[in-house]
Structure 1
Amino acid sequence: MKEKLVKIDRIDRKILECLQKDGGLSNQELAEKVGLSPSPCLRRVRALEEAGIILRRVTLLERKKLGLSLTVIIQISMDRHTPERFEEFENQVKESPEVQECYLITGQEADYMLKVVVPDMDAYQVFLLNKITRIPGVSGVHSSFVLRRVVDNTELPLGYL
């Protein structure tokens, strides 16, 4: 089912660009950056939130400084391709704080691709053996270990709008 696109103007785009760079901006700071007074700026931000364009504001943390030094990309194959099997897998993966991203994919032998962050190889082994391989339907796991983050961008490319 195709999502209905929301029309945004150049001011909305500027608001989104600023908030993607710094979600902690106060309304006053944001208004100054986009050239609006605070009241209309706040109305626009609320409209973008109500339209579902702004989902939430988050704080990005430096993984390594918190002892989360290992990032793993995992490709997972399922034994059966049924909605029930996929739903059960997805529900269990959503409950794992180690999982940063999970995608249902095509074009590979795998059905899912996960990005997982853990402290080290021992923690990954525990995660893999006690969580992932215990999910019903998981029939194959291929792990790739990230050596270096080359691009780790959270900002969407708004230049297309």
Structure 2
Amino acid sequence: MKIDAIDRRILAALQRDGRIQNNDLAREVGLSPSPCLRRVRLLEEAGYIDRYVAVLNPAKLGMGMTLFARIWLTKQDEDTIEHFVAEVRKHPQVVECYLMLGDCDALLRIVAADIDAYRRFQSTYLSRIRGVQNVKTDVPSQTVKEGFELPL
């Protein structure tokens, strides 16, 4: 499916507000409600819309600290990587995980209540994952930009 300018406007509006009512969305993108809803369904079916989520405030939920952990593995073979990925997926504190091609093998974004909670998580779980050789943690001093919208 190839998308056009109207589809892009629909996607941009849904990125800003995934709960927008179809009538409001249709008005915003210049369509009547039925064709707008049909386009949204087609975008969902074609995989342009992966899912709808609510973006929560981590500080309000007691997880106001974000840390980045760089992971070095003992090996980069398939078994080691698959085991690491499976273990990381078990922990909700790890909100993002990227396998890297640079200096480290993986980069994790982790949320925690405070530095002590992170230290416990690192020593109890993260460092004990079979195949993890080294963990280096970076603590950001300020969040300058955090977004979820893709440029359309």
TM > 0.5 between the two? yes
Distance 1:148 1:156 in 2: 22
Distance 1:95 1:74 in 2: 16
TM-score by length of 1: 0.91
Aligned to 1:106: 101
Task: Please point out which of 123, 128, 139 is paired with 1:145.
Answer: 139
Is residue 7 of structure 1 aligned with residue 11 of structure 2? Answer: no
CA contact (8 A) 1:70 1:146 kept: no
Task: Please point out which of 119, 122, 125 is paired with 1:128.
Answer: 122
Distance 1:53 1:72 in 2: 30
Query: What stretches of structure 1 move > 6 A for 4+ residues in a row?
Result: none
Distance 1:63 1:18 in 2: 24
Distance 1:123 1:62 in 2: 18
Aligned to 1:47: 42
Aligned to 1:19: 14
Shift of 1:79: 0.2
Q: Which runs of 5+ in 2 are unaligned?
A: none
TM-score by length of 2: 0.96
Distance 2:143 2:60 in 1: 15
Shift of 1:107: 1.9
Task: Report % sequence identity.
Answer: 46
Aligned to 1:116: 110
Aligned to 1:34: 29
Distance 2:24 2:121 in 1: 42
CA contact (8 A) 1:102 1:114 kept: yes
Deviates more, 1:75-84 or 1:121-130: 121-130
Deviates more, 1:59-68 or 1:19-28: 59-68
Give the counterpart letter for 1:68 in structure 2: M
Aligned residues between the structures:
152
Give the counterpart letter for 2:131 in structure 1: G
Give the counterpart letter for 2:55 in structure 1: L
Distance 2:40 2:124 in 1: 43
Shift of 1:66: 2.0
Give the counterpart letter for 2:58 in structure 1: R
Is residue 77 of structure 1 aligned with residue 41 of structure 2? Answer: no
RMSD of the alignment, in Å?
A: 1.0
Shift of 1:34: 0.8
Q: Which runs of 5+ in 1 are unaligned?
A: 1-5
Distance 2:125 2:2 in 1: 42
